[in-house]
A and B are shown apart, each in its own frame.
Chain A
Protein backbone atom coordinates (compact mmCIF):
# COMPACT_ATOMS: atom_id res chain seq x y z
CA UNK A 1 0.00 0.00 0.00
CA UNK A 2 1.23 3.50 -0.81
CA UNK A 3 -0.34 6.90 -1.25
CA UNK A 4 -1.38 6.01 -4.81
CA UNK A 5 -3.38 3.03 -3.65
CA UNK A 6 -7.03 3.30 -4.58
CA UNK A 7 -6.61 6.53 -6.60
CA UNK A 8 -7.79 6.97 -10.17
CA UNK A 9 -4.41 7.70 -11.77
CA UNK A 10 -5.14 7.34 -15.49
CA UNK A 11 -5.04 10.51 -17.59
CA UNK A 12 -6.89 9.77 -20.79
CA UNK A 13 -5.83 7.91 -23.91
CA UNK A 14 -2.08 7.93 -24.55
CA UNK A 15 -2.80 6.29 -27.88
CA UNK A 16 -5.19 3.85 -29.46
CA UNK A 17 -3.46 1.95 -32.27
CA UNK A 18 -4.80 0.43 -35.48
CA UNK A 19 -3.19 -1.22 -38.50
CA UNK A 20 -3.42 0.44 -41.89
CA UNK A 21 -2.84 -0.82 -45.40
CA UNK A 22 -3.53 2.65 -46.79
CA UNK A 23 -1.06 5.12 -45.26
CA UNK A 24 -1.71 7.71 -47.97
CA UNK A 25 -5.44 7.78 -47.34
CA UNK A 26 -4.91 7.65 -43.58
CA UNK A 27 -2.66 10.72 -43.60
CA UNK A 28 -5.04 12.57 -45.91
CA UNK A 29 -8.01 11.76 -43.73
CA UNK A 30 -6.58 12.51 -40.30
CA UNK A 31 -3.98 15.21 -41.06
CA UNK A 32 -5.21 16.95 -44.19
CA UNK A 33 -9.00 16.66 -43.88
CA UNK A 34 -9.60 16.62 -40.14
CA UNK A 35 -6.50 18.71 -39.36
CA UNK A 36 -5.10 16.42 -36.65
CA UNK A 37 -1.35 17.19 -36.41
CA UNK A 38 1.21 14.42 -36.80
CA UNK A 39 2.90 14.37 -33.43
CA UNK A 40 5.13 11.33 -33.43
CA UNK A 41 6.35 8.55 -35.65
CA UNK A 42 8.67 5.61 -35.35
CA UNK A 43 10.48 4.09 -38.34
CA UNK A 44 11.37 0.61 -37.22
CA UNK A 45 13.54 -1.74 -39.27
CA UNK A 46 12.33 -5.05 -37.97
CA UNK A 47 11.21 -5.64 -34.44
CA UNK A 48 11.31 -8.58 -32.12
CA UNK A 49 10.80 -11.86 -33.92
CA UNK A 50 12.66 -12.39 -37.17
CA UNK A 51 9.54 -12.47 -39.31
CA UNK A 52 8.35 -9.04 -38.16
CA UNK A 53 8.26 -6.67 -41.17
CA UNK A 54 9.69 -3.18 -41.16
CA UNK A 55 7.05 -0.72 -40.15
CA UNK A 56 6.11 2.89 -39.52
CA UNK A 57 4.18 3.65 -36.34
CA UNK A 58 2.66 7.11 -36.67
CA UNK A 59 0.52 9.23 -34.42
CA UNK A 60 -2.05 12.02 -34.79
CA UNK A 61 -3.04 14.43 -32.04
CA UNK A 62 -6.78 14.07 -31.38
CA UNK A 63 -6.83 16.83 -28.75
CA UNK A 64 -6.35 16.78 -25.00
CA UNK A 65 -2.86 15.34 -25.64
CA UNK A 66 -4.55 12.08 -26.65
CA UNK A 67 -3.49 10.33 -29.84
CA UNK A 68 -4.68 7.91 -32.47
CA UNK A 69 -1.85 5.81 -33.90
CA UNK A 70 -1.37 3.54 -36.91
CA UNK A 71 0.99 0.77 -37.90
CA UNK A 72 1.97 0.49 -41.55
CA UNK A 73 3.88 -2.75 -42.26
CA UNK A 74 6.03 -2.81 -45.40
CA UNK A 75 5.25 -5.70 -47.67
CA UNK A 76 2.43 -7.12 -45.59
CA UNK A 77 -0.24 -8.32 -48.02
CA UNK A 78 -3.53 -6.52 -47.75
CA UNK A 79 -6.13 -8.92 -46.34
CA UNK A 80 -9.34 -9.67 -48.16
CA UNK A 81 -11.74 -6.77 -48.30
CA UNK A 82 -14.71 -9.08 -48.66
CA UNK A 83 -17.43 -8.94 -46.07
CA UNK A 84 -18.26 -6.30 -43.50
CA UNK A 85 -15.70 -4.63 -41.31
CA UNK A 86 -12.38 -2.86 -41.62
CA UNK A 87 -8.65 -3.31 -42.14
CA UNK A 88 -8.36 -5.14 -38.82
CA UNK A 89 -11.33 -7.49 -38.88
CA UNK A 90 -13.88 -8.81 -41.35
CA UNK A 91 -17.25 -10.35 -40.66
CA UNK A 92 -19.61 -12.44 -42.72
CA UNK A 93 -22.88 -11.16 -44.09
CA UNK A 94 -24.78 -12.78 -41.25
CA UNK A 95 -23.16 -10.43 -38.72
CA UNK A 96 -25.56 -7.55 -38.06
CA UNK A 97 -24.42 -4.04 -39.03
CA UNK A 98 -25.10 -2.73 -35.51
CA UNK A 99 -22.59 -5.24 -34.15
CA UNK A 100 -19.93 -4.30 -36.71
CA UNK A 101 -20.48 -0.60 -35.92
CA UNK A 102 -20.36 -1.12 -32.16
CA UNK A 103 -16.57 -0.79 -32.09
CA UNK A 104 -15.70 2.78 -33.01
CA UNK A 105 -13.71 5.80 -31.92
CA UNK A 106 -15.66 8.86 -30.74
CA UNK A 107 -13.81 12.16 -30.60
CA UNK A 108 -15.17 14.85 -28.32
CA UNK A 109 -15.77 18.49 -29.26
CA UNK A 110 -17.08 21.27 -27.05
CA UNK A 111 -19.58 23.04 -29.30
CA UNK A 112 -22.04 22.71 -32.14
CA UNK A 113 -19.87 25.08 -34.18
CA UNK A 114 -16.88 22.77 -33.76
CA UNK A 115 -18.99 19.76 -34.72
CA UNK A 116 -20.26 21.52 -37.86
CA UNK A 117 -16.72 22.57 -38.76
CA UNK A 118 -15.68 18.90 -38.78
CA UNK A 119 -18.81 18.11 -40.79
CA UNK A 120 -17.78 20.78 -43.33
CA UNK A 121 -14.24 19.39 -43.57
CA UNK A 122 -15.48 15.83 -44.08
CA UNK A 123 -18.20 16.79 -46.54
CA UNK A 124 -15.58 18.47 -48.74
CA UNK A 125 -13.48 15.29 -48.74
CA UNK A 126 -13.69 11.74 -50.08
CA UNK A 127 -15.11 10.72 -46.70
CA UNK A 128 -18.32 12.75 -46.27
CA UNK A 129 -20.44 12.44 -43.15
CA UNK A 130 -22.61 9.34 -43.48
CA UNK A 131 -24.92 10.06 -40.59
CA UNK A 132 -25.70 12.93 -38.22
CA UNK A 133 -27.62 12.12 -35.07
CA UNK A 134 -29.05 14.48 -32.51
CA UNK A 135 -31.18 13.58 -29.57
CA UNK A 136 -31.91 15.24 -26.28
CA UNK A 137 -28.42 14.84 -24.79
CA UNK A 138 -25.84 14.44 -27.58
CA UNK A 139 -25.18 15.31 -31.21
CA UNK A 140 -22.82 13.21 -33.35
CA UNK A 141 -21.53 12.84 -36.88
CA UNK A 142 -20.16 9.58 -38.27
CA UNK A 143 -18.02 8.47 -41.15
CA UNK A 144 -15.64 5.63 -41.99
CA UNK A 145 -11.94 6.42 -42.37
CA UNK A 146 -9.93 5.04 -45.33
CA UNK A 147 -9.32 1.84 -43.37
CA UNK A 148 -12.99 1.21 -42.75
CA UNK A 149 -12.79 2.24 -39.08
CA UNK A 150 -15.94 3.99 -37.91
CA UNK A 151 -15.15 7.45 -36.55
CA UNK A 152 -17.62 9.56 -34.59
CA UNK A 153 -17.31 13.20 -33.58
CA UNK A 154 -19.65 14.04 -30.73
CA UNK A 155 -20.70 16.84 -28.42
CA UNK A 156 -22.79 16.82 -25.28
CA UNK A 157 -25.88 19.04 -25.29
CA UNK A 158 -25.73 19.27 -21.52
CA UNK A 159 -23.25 18.17 -18.85
CA UNK A 160 -23.65 14.73 -17.30
CA UNK A 161 -25.26 15.17 -13.88
CA UNK A 162 -24.14 13.52 -10.62
CA UNK A 163 -27.35 11.50 -10.48
CA UNK A 164 -26.52 10.00 -13.88
CA UNK A 165 -23.16 8.84 -12.52
CA UNK A 166 -24.95 7.31 -9.55
CA UNK A 167 -27.44 5.60 -11.86
CA UNK A 168 -24.62 4.33 -14.09
CA UNK A 169 -22.98 2.68 -11.10
CA UNK A 170 -26.24 0.98 -10.14
CA UNK A 171 -26.65 -0.26 -13.71
CA UNK A 172 -23.18 -1.75 -13.77
CA UNK A 173 -23.52 -3.35 -10.34
CA UNK A 174 -26.83 -4.85 -11.44
CA UNK A 175 -25.33 -6.02 -14.73
CA UNK A 176 -22.41 -7.74 -12.99
CA UNK A 177 -24.89 -9.49 -10.69
CA UNK A 178 -27.28 -10.73 -13.36
CA UNK A 179 -24.76 -11.42 -16.14
CA UNK A 180 -23.54 -14.41 -14.11
CA UNK A 181 -26.95 -16.04 -14.44
CA UNK A 182 -27.82 -18.19 -17.42
CA UNK A 183 -30.35 -16.63 -19.79
CA UNK A 184 -30.33 -13.19 -18.20
CA UNK A 185 -32.48 -10.47 -19.75
CA UNK A 186 -33.12 -6.73 -19.56
CA UNK A 187 -36.04 -7.56 -17.27
CA UNK A 188 -33.60 -9.20 -14.83
CA UNK A 189 -31.39 -6.10 -14.95
CA UNK A 190 -34.23 -3.65 -14.26
CA UNK A 191 -35.50 -5.84 -11.43
CA UNK A 192 -32.04 -6.05 -9.85
CA UNK A 193 -31.58 -2.29 -10.25
CA UNK A 194 -34.83 -1.65 -8.43
CA UNK A 195 -33.55 -3.82 -5.56
CA UNK A 196 -30.29 -1.86 -5.45
CA UNK A 197 -32.16 1.46 -5.48
CA UNK A 198 -34.14 0.41 -2.42
CA UNK A 199 -31.04 -1.01 -0.68
CA UNK A 200 -29.00 2.14 -1.20
CA UNK A 201 -31.70 4.77 -0.78
CA UNK A 202 -31.04 5.26 2.96
CA UNK A 203 -27.52 6.52 2.16
CA UNK A 204 -28.94 9.03 -0.35
CA UNK A 205 -31.35 10.72 1.99
CA UNK A 206 -28.52 12.91 3.22
CA UNK A 207 -26.34 13.24 0.15
CA UNK A 208 -28.61 13.57 -2.88
Chain B
Protein backbone atom coordinates (compact mmCIF):
# COMPACT_ATOMS: atom_id res chain seq x y z
CA UNK B 1 0.00 0.00 0.00
CA UNK B 2 1.71 3.22 -1.21
CA UNK B 3 0.91 6.29 0.81
CA UNK B 4 1.55 9.83 -0.42
CA UNK B 5 1.23 12.80 1.94
CA UNK B 6 0.29 16.20 0.48
CA UNK B 7 -0.04 19.31 2.64
CA UNK B 8 -3.55 20.78 2.69
CA UNK B 9 -2.93 24.29 1.32
CA UNK B 10 -5.09 25.91 -1.37
CA UNK B 11 -2.66 25.20 -4.21
CA UNK B 12 -2.51 21.47 -3.40
CA UNK B 13 -6.23 20.74 -3.15
CA UNK B 14 -6.48 19.90 -6.84
CA UNK B 15 -3.59 17.43 -6.47
CA UNK B 16 -5.57 15.45 -3.91
CA UNK B 17 -8.78 15.79 -5.91
CA UNK B 18 -7.23 14.52 -9.15
CA UNK B 19 -5.52 11.65 -7.31
CA UNK B 20 -8.83 10.62 -5.77
CA UNK B 21 -10.52 10.32 -9.15
CA UNK B 22 -8.55 7.18 -10.03
CA UNK B 23 -10.16 3.82 -9.28
CA UNK B 24 -9.12 2.37 -5.96
CA UNK B 25 -7.27 5.47 -4.75
CA UNK B 26 -8.34 6.53 -1.28
CA UNK B 27 -7.88 10.10 -0.06
CA UNK B 28 -8.11 10.82 3.68
CA UNK B 29 -6.86 13.52 6.03
CA UNK B 30 -4.27 13.19 8.80
CA UNK B 31 -3.72 16.46 10.63
CA UNK B 32 -2.98 19.08 7.97
CA UNK B 33 -2.12 16.47 5.33
CA UNK B 34 -4.05 14.70 2.62
CA UNK B 35 -3.16 11.01 2.67
CA UNK B 36 -3.42 9.44 -0.79
CA UNK B 37 -3.33 5.63 -0.65
CA UNK B 38 -3.48 2.83 -3.17
CA UNK B 39 -2.44 -0.81 -3.46
CA UNK B 40 -1.19 -0.19 -6.98
CA UNK B 41 0.42 2.79 -8.70
CA UNK B 42 -0.78 6.29 -7.83
CA UNK B 43 -0.77 8.42 -11.00
CA UNK B 44 -1.62 12.13 -10.91
CA UNK B 45 -1.95 14.02 -14.20
CA UNK B 46 -0.25 17.40 -13.82
CA UNK B 47 -2.42 19.20 -16.38
CA UNK B 48 -5.60 17.96 -14.72
CA UNK B 49 -4.44 19.52 -11.45
CA UNK B 50 -3.84 22.90 -13.07
CA UNK B 51 -0.62 23.22 -11.05
CA UNK B 52 2.25 25.18 -12.49
CA UNK B 53 5.79 24.00 -11.94
CA UNK B 54 6.68 25.64 -8.59
CA UNK B 55 3.73 24.08 -6.79
CA UNK B 56 3.80 20.86 -8.79
CA UNK B 57 7.41 20.07 -7.95
CA UNK B 58 6.94 20.79 -4.24
CA UNK B 59 3.56 19.21 -3.57
CA UNK B 60 4.78 15.94 -2.00
CA UNK B 61 5.24 16.13 1.77
CA UNK B 62 5.94 12.49 2.51
CA UNK B 63 6.10 9.04 1.05
CA UNK B 64 5.51 5.66 2.70
CA UNK B 65 5.92 2.22 1.10
CA UNK B 66 6.13 3.77 -2.34
CA UNK B 67 8.70 5.09 -4.74
CA UNK B 68 8.38 8.07 -7.07
CA UNK B 69 9.10 6.72 -10.54
CA UNK B 70 7.88 9.72 -12.53
CA UNK B 71 7.64 13.38 -11.55
CA UNK B 72 7.75 15.58 -14.61
CA UNK B 73 5.60 18.09 -16.45
CA UNK B 74 3.14 15.35 -17.39
CA UNK B 75 2.54 13.33 -14.25
CA UNK B 76 3.54 12.20 -10.79
CA UNK B 77 3.62 8.43 -10.45
CA UNK B 78 4.26 6.50 -7.26
CA UNK B 79 4.73 2.73 -7.46
CA UNK B 80 4.53 0.40 -4.49
CA UNK B 81 7.97 -0.16 -3.02
Do these two chains interact? Answer: yes
Residues of A within 8 A of B (CB): 135-137, 158, 161, 163-164, 166-167, 170-171, 187, 190-191, 193-198, 200-201, 204-205, 208
Q: Is B60 part of the contact surface with A, judged by Cβ < 8 Å? A: yes
Give every chain A residue within 8 A of B54 (Cβ-Cβ).
135-137
The answer on a CB contact under 8 Å between A194 and B55 is no
Chain A residues with CB below 8 A from B79, complex form: none
CA–CA, A204 to B32, complex, Å?
Answer: 8
B5, B8, B52: the one contacting A197 at CB < 8 Å is B5
* Docked CA distance A201–B29 (Å): 11
Give 7 A-B contacts (CB < 8 Å), ordered by A residue. Answer: A163-B9, A187-B67, A190-B61, A193-B61, A198-B30, A198-B64, A201-B31
B36 to chain A, nearest CB (A): 12
How would residues 47 to 69 of chain B score, 1 for a CB under 8 Å from any chain A CB and 0 otherwise?
A: 00001111100001111100110
B72 at the interface (CB under 8 A from A): no
Cα-based distance from A194 to B63 in the complex (angstroms): 5
Query: Residues 26-52 of chain B: 1 if any A CB is under 8 Å from the residue's CB, otherwise 0?
Result: 000011110000000000000000011
Identify which of A136, A166, A196, A198 gathers the most chain B CB atoms within 10 Å of its CB. A136
Give Cα A200 to B31, complex, Å.
Answer: 9
Inter-chain contacts of A196 with B (CB < 8 A) = 62
Supposing A158-B10, A205-B31 touch, asked if A190 and B52 sit within 8 A by C-beta, the answer is no
**Cβ-defined partner of B52 (8 Å) among A135, A158, A164, A201:** A135
B31 touches A204 (CB 8 A): yes
Contact B60 A136 (CB under 8 A): no
Please state if B9 and A193 are interface contacts (CB–CB under 8 Å). no
